[in-house]
Amino acid sequence: MADEHVLIQFRDEFLALSPEQFHEALERGRTLMTTHAKSDTCHVDDRIVDAAGAAAITSVPESWFEERARRGDIPHLRFGKYVRFRIADVLEAASSRQQNTKRTAISDFKKRA
């Protein structure tokens, strides 16, 4: 059992930790989160990203976010020519896109039946 490792994907690479290192890292993470949660006033969902950042978070093409912002279909922030999105709004848009896709797929199936 000396070869047991916990593999954790980090971007396009992997971390290999022994079970002891993994549990130690978990404890450090819990300690840091408790410390930061008390002092942090900015939540992850309050951060803003550009269309590329939104695409990276959701795996939805950048162009989808750019087009929806142009049409006013999704909430966005405009700084002159720059368009930005709140992460919470990006996740909501992706969630509603997924729900709409399911509805369309189900209605298409019912039409065929």
Both tokens of 26, joined, read 């978990």
pTM above 0.75, yes or no: no
The 8-class DSSP code of residue 74 comes to: S
Amino acid (one-letter) located at 89 = D
User: Which tens digit of pLDDT belongs to each residue from 2-60?
Assistant: 578 888 887 788 888 898 998 898 888 888 877 655 555 556 677 899 999 998 888 88
For the chain, which residues make up each domain, given as ranges? 6-39, 44-112
Kindly report, residue by residue over 72-101, the tens digit of the pLDDT: 988 999 999 999 999 888 888 777 765 555
Higher pLDDT pick, 36 / 69: 69
Mapped onto helix, strand or coil, the DSSP state of residue 80 is coil
CATH-assigned architecture of domain 44-112: Orthogonal Bundle (1.10)
Three-state SS for 78? strand
Give residue 40's pLDDT: 52
